[in-house]
Structures are given as C-alpha cells and as structure tokens.
C-alpha cells in the first residue's frame, strides 16, 4: 500500500498557473505584452548631472505640450514632474495597434543637494524637457586661497 500525502494547496497553485498562462495569452493577442515588457520601470526616464553652478535634469517627452506639464521643487529637496498625454482622437478610424502610452504620470526624484527653487528654469525642445536647478551658495565649491607664511 502506498501512502499519498494530502496537499490541499496543489489544486490552488495549479489553477493560479493556469490563470497566469491564460492571461499571458490574452495580452499576447492584444499586443500588450510587448508593450508592458519594454516599458521602463519609471516614466519618464531621467538623466541628472551637475556642473559647478547647476544640477540638470533631462527627460524625453515626445509629443508633450507645455500646458500638459507641471514641475515642482519641494522643501524636502525633491523634484516632481507631472504630466498628461492625451489619446489623439481619430474620427471614423479603426486602430490596428496602439503601442504609445497615454494618460497621466508623475515622477518624483530626490535631489542630491539643496537647490535654489526660486531660480529653477525648464524648457521643452524637440521633445526633451531640460530642467536647470541652480545650486544654493552653500553647496557650490569655493576655492580657498592658500597663503605662504
């Protein structure tokens, strides 16, 4: 006689795996799976760098309009970029594929040092948002003259 171990969760996990596979098939048929796997973990992707006087932030935002963007610098040293990309209206059109992302987004990033929030500038050129954040005087490098004695 063989002893069979009772495992009540086997059926549950088997059903979960089946459901997962079915959802993958649905996403494959709709074309969403490629889109979801290729998305960055945070949108928009940001580049940050600094020179002696400023911190710079760049984000690629193709097709965005100035009126659809909001940029904030908060007192706790964070930069917030908010926006909304509207779905273009196409009258009497049948979509065959829709891969571009639409809707609202918010990206918040901690800044590496304090900035002068009153002098922050932002521009949008050729789909690239550039934010210039001036350093506060205390964080700028200061040359110390050494005197011989």
Number of domains in the chain: 2
Residue 14, domain extent: 8-39
Q: Is residue 135 part of a domain?
A: yes
* Residues 28 and 51 both lie in one domain: no
3-state secondary structure of 106: strand
The two three-digit tokens of residue 13, written as one number: 């996990």
User: Looking at the structure, do residues 66 and 117 belong to the same domain, yes or no?
Assistant: yes
92 torsion bin: left (phi>0), alpha (psi -120 to 50), beta (else): left
Torsion 76-113-53-51 (CA) sign: negative
Task: Record the pTM.
Answer: 0.65
pLDDT at position 40 is: 47
CATH number of the domain within which 50 lies? 2.60.40.790
pLDDT, averaged per 10 consecutive residues of the chain (149 residues), comes to 62 78 78 53 88 96 90 91 87 82 89 93 95 88 85
48 and 73 fall within a common domain: yes
Task: Confirm whether 146 is domain-assigned.
Answer: no
- Closest listed residue to residue 139, CA positions, set 105, 113, 108: 113
- Do you know the residue count of the chain? 149
């Amino acid at each position: 006689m063989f002893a069979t171990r009772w495992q009540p969760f086997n059926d549950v996990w088997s059903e979960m795996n089946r459901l997962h596979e079915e959802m993958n098939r649905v996403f494959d048929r709709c074309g969403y799976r490629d889109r979801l796997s290729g998305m960055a973990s945070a949108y928009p992707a940001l580049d940050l760098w600094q020179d002696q006087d400023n911190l710079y932030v760049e984000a690629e935002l193709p097709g965005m309009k100035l009126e659809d963007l909001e940029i904030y610098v908060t007192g706790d040293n964070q930069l917030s970029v908010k926006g909304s990309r509207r779905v273009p209206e196409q009258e009497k059109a049948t979509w065959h594929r829709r891969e571009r992302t639409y809707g609202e987004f918010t990206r918040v990033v901690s800044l590496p040092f304090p900035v002068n929030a009153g002098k922050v500038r932002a521009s949008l050129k050729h789909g690239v948002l550039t934010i210039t954040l001036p350093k506060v005087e205390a964080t700028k490098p200061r040359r110390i003259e050494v005197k011989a004695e």
